[in-house]
Amino acid sequence: MELGLVRQVEIRDELQRAYLDYAMSVIVARALPDVRDGLKPVQRRILYAMHELGLHPGAPYKKSARIVGEVLGKYHPHGDAAVYEAMARMAQDFSLRYPLVDGQGNFGSVDGDSPAAMRYTEARLAPIAAEMLADIQKETVDFVPNFDDTLREPAILPAAIPNLLVNGSSGIAVGMATSIPPHNLSEVCDALIYLLDNWKHLDDIGVEDLLRFIQGPDFPTGGVVYRETAEGEDALAAAYGTGRGRITVRARVRLEMDRARQRLVVTEIPYQVNKSSLVERIAELARDGRLEGVTDLRDESDRQGIRVVIELARTADPEAVLAELFRSTPPGDHFQHHPAGAGGRRTATPDAQASPAPLSGTPPGDRHPAQPLRPGAGEGTGPHPGGAPGRPGQPGRSD
């Protein structure tokens, strides 16, 4: 080896090579989920480390600091804050449709509160995470060396469930990003069974065939998904058919009567909307006179679920107030749908015609116009409920 040698290179070529290496590192090893198990590297390492620690469902909880230290020392030599944040998010039932970590303690709230310090919280694997790791000891997946070549870690998890579809994902890489909404596990399994039953005719299965099974996104915070746009276009089918689009999601609001007084009650909010910021925004609009007819505003949310009460004046028109709320506040929000994922050293953007499995929507013929508000309806203002069944404090799907 000759020391002191200066090699001249074209700066254009060097920048191109270095930037491409950096971009691929971010895309494959940090920001985008793997389409095979739906996990980013840090999430996969956390689940595998918990599996190695014996933190299976039913086992005693272990301090989060112990888990984070295990991940840092063996598989993920980065900041402890990033690892703990990723683990806390997998324990939040308002972030993941099916949480993969069973947390004990304060792991944050829908109001934007941060999780407690890792020395205070405890965690173990959630039951559904056991299905992600099932049979990993039977050489079902490839193992690769860890960062210092002293241990081996799985390249992907066996993933007996379609995690990328049921929990969704979001991330920003270099030159690309991904935004995948969560879906209902039962509906996704029904669609997969249909594909397997018709495997010989897979190329003939189109968007409309899968729309009969998957009823659209199933957000953990509920809300109402609007399938049709103002122009009458099928927004859900277009978004899932082309791999790019915008899904309109609105809060679920009902009208209640009390002693001749009317009130609007928000029981579900769009995905990733901060409830505390939402209440502050409504109060600001009412204070500035931009939202007329509001006499009082209360956040009565508790462990049973979300309940934001908007008291109306006797002369107020509930429909007009609600329309202004949707126009000026996060209850009328949009979810950008842009599915992209990594597969080994490749990236993929699902397309309806090329890969039907990731599609979603509301069944053909099940399109209903927005219903007018009525006392005690218990329904939102749109055709498709996106709530999550089966968990305390969360709204249930009624479709």
Question: Could you list the active site residues?
Answer: 120
If you ran DSSP here, which 8-state letter would residue 302 be given? B
- Residue that is written with structure tokens 């173990």 in the block: 124
Burial class (CB in 10 A: 0-12, 13-18, 19+), 265: middle
Nearest to 124 by CA among 213, 176, 46, 196: 46
Long-range contacts formed by 10-17: CB under 8 A, 24+ apart: none
Joined together, the tokens standing for residue 115 give: 């999780």
Give the whole-angstrom CA distance, residue 164 versus residue 187.
Answer: 14
Q: Is 269 helix (H, G, I), strand (E, B) or coil?
A: coil
Q: What one-character-per-residue DSSP string does 334-397 give?
A: EEEEB--EEETTEEE---TTT--TT-----TT---PPPPP-BT----SSSEE----SSTTS---
Nearest to 121 by CA among 161, 166, 90: 90
Nearest to 286 by CA among 307, 266, 265, 313: 313
Which secondary-structure segment (H or E) carries 325?
helix 318-328
- Residue that is written with structure tokens 């063996």 in the block: 74
∠ Cα 227 232 234 (to 5°) = 40
Contact indicator for 180, 35 with CB cutoff of 8 Å:
no
> HSE-up of 84 (CA within 13 Å, CB side)?
21
